[in-house]
Structure 1
């Protein structure tokens, strides 16, 4: 099979260098709408352009920061954490002022997710609306906890087109702009996050909207509120939330800040199980749900309950950053042999993560033989091994970016077999681990495995290897995301694709939303159905059979995984427009 690349996108040198530039423009906005808590007489604001290697060239991206300090009682925190940030996307022919746009889509990210993950769907949606003569904007929100991330190394590596620059910063004592990496933060270093839960997250969205769009009636006319995964549930709570403490007034209510709602492989709901049909948080990573609200808060204060969502391997700040490093290597040198595993330090976290994600079976995991480093992969293939649905075992991290090429492939049977839904006692895990046949390179110390991109599954591209059941591991209809665009979103964005320090309190508050401390603000229950709703589901995503039917219009994207609703390419293999962004643009225009 001859592998052909239909396009290789490179970030222009001038644009790459500008990733490190800090030139900003400053504007001031007031927040004095009816019943609203103003951020002060004015909110300090910064906005700067974001250079991009995206093929969607008619969309302008900027990163916006607005100073909206946390309450004083929150305690010590970095100065950066008194700012809120978002990525703003608009068409190059559209108005410069957001208030003059036809509609504004405002998106909350999911668990362990940052604003950078929305890049493809934001660009595609804005461009599609422009084709229909409408100028819309897409705002991808960054949660306040993202202020704790140190992305200097990834940004410097992207600017230099060098994975080694980033690696040296995070692991070898290298400096960027005179700064050295201070290390990943421990539980005792993020104490203020014990106060950053549901109420603060919703308040942040409200205050940001009020600062950027002071006219409440304009917000009600033009803002469409939504999100991906957990972001749909956050939007549900936003819709019913009372922001002025006076139940008799509703100009301040969340539903009156929105003209409509959109859910991306999620649900506009106030229940986590409504997304998947079961609890989505892995057992052991959260406190016992039977504990009272007061006990959980005491645990957060004392540190007995971890203040960030973290596990000894796979899910923690370091591994989230390693994903960005893998994206950077694939972006900078896609076909070069990967040194990611060899270059990373040997520690319990890294070794445990590589074994969990890259072992063929239980024996390989237990013995460490063959080790992940014994397989030769291109940088693209290494990223695919970490993120593709035929390799990555965790469904909420899966995309459909292609398949391995250039060597023998075997069935990947660890950590769970493909048909987990048929195993007694484990059927509830199907939504967590996905249903795609998983594959793994099977020639240690053999050829350098390449990557077959999502659009290289045509009649002349050769057959796909068969899984153990005799069927091909994948088909063209199952592949929707360009691996180079995934790499770009993971490494090029000024706001991260992932969220290194997800605040535990955000999810415990949702799980305990019946507690008086939460329910006293969640009073406008009719807000959930007060506006038109669209639910855009991944056909092979997290939603299980037990999930309730979504309200409003429903769109299912066949073959999509959970992240594909954010990352899918504008040009699909079936020749039709990318369905999520196309329908989302229509919804934004028509409501």
Structure 2
């Protein structure tokens, strides 16, 4: 992360969106005047200021050896944070533990705390969390815990509808909650938040320093024994979570470099990166030739940082990446993904009610964008994506599959479609246009080009048979799960080059478990109001800002003080150098960016699921940091 190629798509998107000039948590007061709040997983409001809650949730996971619960801890924001809902004075995480393990976290053999990447939520870690617990017990006879953390901005979400839909096995319940004003447990949906809403003001302060301090404070509150933390607590992160984990190690609570007991690296025994590099230097770095002009450039960079902060606080700039765009990718789109996931979990083989989906600008534009073969299809809405027919699991798979989804950071190797014509897509970039481009003299931007929509190292597909124009009575598309793809790809459609779009070696994630983890967990798969500043802080720091990262730079080499391992997908974002030197790492063959934290425990072709096995091995060796 010391040169321009280290600028990932996620950082690029944040930087691009930051040049652009909801969802309301319900708040009431009881009869005694006490403030009441909704916390994740709760069926009723609780009194504001309640120190801690822990609530189990209904899970349809086959892993009965795992006990999963939602923990919320009262850790108020500082007064300087700005306007925010009272729910945002709590930090929440998913606590995974072995059912035969101790109830007290301080008695666990190991505790892993995990922070997700850009626009991802705690639920994205569900599969590797469960499998790591399995392998720690199976291979090392250790009962470990895994904590998947939500960043504070997740307090703005209302996952009531999606969670209730899965709990009651009724997908329509979720649609009714978000679109038809149906109440659930006395709660009603207040709408998707807009960038200028007053309660989003606090996102301007949710940068790297506040994010790390939240993580730090939560760990110290939940694991008050420093001796335990330094020997048995491990930190980890996916994607942008790699730099965040490094920043945790570099953090110092009191800002004094001479008092190291409170240093971040003294609160854990080691660090795990998932399709990332554990290094705080994220984003582009000025060439050496420019450093001679630092006395000129630094005031410009610092001025830019101050200007961006003013823009975030005022709402002129997008406070969240998902309030930057009015269509395609925003908080409504991530909520809709939950509902699609819920339907795929409940009735995977049943036809999705695509024709009756809400026709909001977001859903219409997103559907047409992801299901258009050519630019003309997108512009003319012909054929309409709403005329396609697909089972619920086929719809989810077509949105996220590594051979249909163009954005690298959203790709999951979860199988492939069947039942109708599937052809190579040419929109928005097209495989051949990019692959035929001579990039030998374009090393600085090659990783960025490869991460752009459809700028993929392999052909991408799209279902193309919607039946006679406007009728919507074409074939019903179905789904081949990861373990149903033949070894040679013989049961998969072919790309323009005459080869199957994929074969069994490319597929590692179970569509059923993906659907479940997207929909059933009160701390869900995505972060609907991800704070733009969390990413732009790293970008300003890369250009030389001294104020962007705050106390996370007090110990600049703190991240090197403890063992590190990076687990990277062979088809992910880190392998191409987008995050920097991989260091001590394991390459996971066939894995895409999200597979590294979503892969199924039971693999095909005689392979083992090395992401969770490597995690269990690493933490079970008391910080040795070297796998056998």
The TM tier, using the shorter chain, reads: 0.7 to 0.9
Deviation at 1:20, TM superposition (A): 6.7
Report the alpha carbon displacement of residue 545 of structure 1 after superposing the two structures with TM.
3.5
Distance 1:550 1:585, change over 3 A: farther
User: Which of 495, 499, 503 is equivalent to 2:523?
Assistant: 495
Aligned residue pair count: 545
TM-score after normalising by structure 1: 0.88
Structure 2 alignment gaps of length 5 or more: 1-39, 286-299, 468-473, 624-628
Q: Any idea what SS the aligned residue of 2:70 has?
A: strand
How far does residue 193 in structure 1 lie from its aligned partner after superposition?
Answer: 1.1
Does 1:229 find its partner at 2:243? no
Structure 1 stretch displaced more, 350-359 or 139-148: 350-359
Unaligned runs of 5+ in 1: 1-18, 27-41, 276-287
Given the superposition, is the C-alpha separation of residues 264 and 409 from structure 1 closer, same or farther in structure 2, using an over 3 Å criterion? same
Aligned pair in 2 of structure 1 residues 460, 302: CA closer, same or farther (>3 Å)? closer
Q: For residue 114 of structure 2, what is the aligned residue in structure 1?
A: 107
Q: CA deviation at 1:550?
A: 3.6
Q: CA deviation at 1:22?
A: 4.3
Alignment partner, residue 129 of structure 2: 122
- Report the CA distance between 1:51 and its aligned residue: 2.6
Aligned to 1:303: 315
Match of 1:391 among 375, 388, 404: 404
Counterparts of residues 404-443 of structure 1 (less than 5 Å): 404-419=417-432, 420-423=434-437, 427=446, 428-433=448-453, 434-443=456-465
CA distance in 1, matches of 2:308, 2:220: 32
1:273-284 matches, cutoff 5 A: 273=283
SS in 1 for 2:262: coil
Q: Secondary structure at the match of 1:176?
A: coil
Structure 2 residue 351 is the aligned partner of structure 1 residue 329: no
1:245 and 2:255 equivalent?
Answer: yes
Aligned-pair distance for 1:401? 0.6
Compute the displacement of 1:459 (Å). Answer: 6.6
Alignment of 1:178 with 2:186, yes or no, is yes
The corresponding residue for 1:136 is: 144
2:576 matches 1:576: no
Q: 1:349 aligns with which of 359, 362, 368?
A: 362
CA shift in 2, pair 1:21/1:510, >3 Å: closer
Superposed, which structure 2 residues align to 1:44-55 within 5 Å?
44-55=51-62
Q: CA RMSD in A?
A: 2.4
More displaced stretch, 328-337 vs 42-51: 42-51
Which residue of structure 1 lines up, in the alignment, with residue 327 of structure 2?
A: 313
> Relative to 1, partners in 2 of residues 1:491 and 1:520: Cα closer, same or farther, differing over 3 Å?
closer
Which TM-score applies when normalising by structure 2?
0.83
Q: Given that residues 377 and 383 in structure 2 are in contact (C-alpha distance below 8 angstroms), is that contact kept between their aligned partners in structure 1? A: yes
Whether 1:480 aligns to 2:502 is no
Residue 546 of structure 1 deviates from its aligned partner by 4.1
1:444 Cα deviation (Å)?
1.3
Per-residue deviation at 1:201? 0.5
Q: Choose which of 351, 367, 373 in structure 1 pairs with 2:386.
A: 373
Provide the rounded CA distance (Å) in 2 between the counterparts of 1:181 and 1:457: 40
2:222 to 206, 212, 224: 212
- 1:467 shift after superposition: 0.8
Q: Could you say what secondary structure the match of 1:455 adopts?
A: helix
* Separation (CA, whole Å) in 2 of partners of 1:530 and 1:167: 49
Residues 201 and 298 of structure 1, relative CA distance in 2, 3 Å threshold? same
CA distance in 2, matches of 1:148, 1:328: 21
Are the aligned partners of 1:267 and 1:274 in contact in 2 as well (CA < 8 Å)? no
Q: How does 1:556-567 map onto structure 2 within 5 Å? A: 556-567=587-598
Per-residue Cα deviation, 1:423-468 (whole angstroms, up to 9, x for no partner): 3688432024432321122221221011011111247996222111
Cα distance between partner residues in 2 of 1:569 and 1:104 = 22
Indicate the residue corresponding to 2:176 in structure 1.
168
> Shift of the alpha carbon at 1:24?
12
CA contact 1:25–1:47 (8 Å) conserved in 2: no
Aligned to 1:58: 65
Structure 1 residues 537-556: Cα deviation after superposition (integer angstroms, max 9, x where no partner): 01101125344764542111
Q: Is the 8 A contact 1:145 1:193 kept in 2?
A: yes
Give the aligned partner of residue 508 of structure 1.
Answer: 536
Q: Secondary structure at the match of 1:517?
A: coil
Q: Is the 8 A contact 2:255 2:554 kept in 1?
A: no
Structure 2 matches for 1:189-200, cutoff 5 A?
189=197, 190-200=200-210
Matched, 1:530 2:561: yes
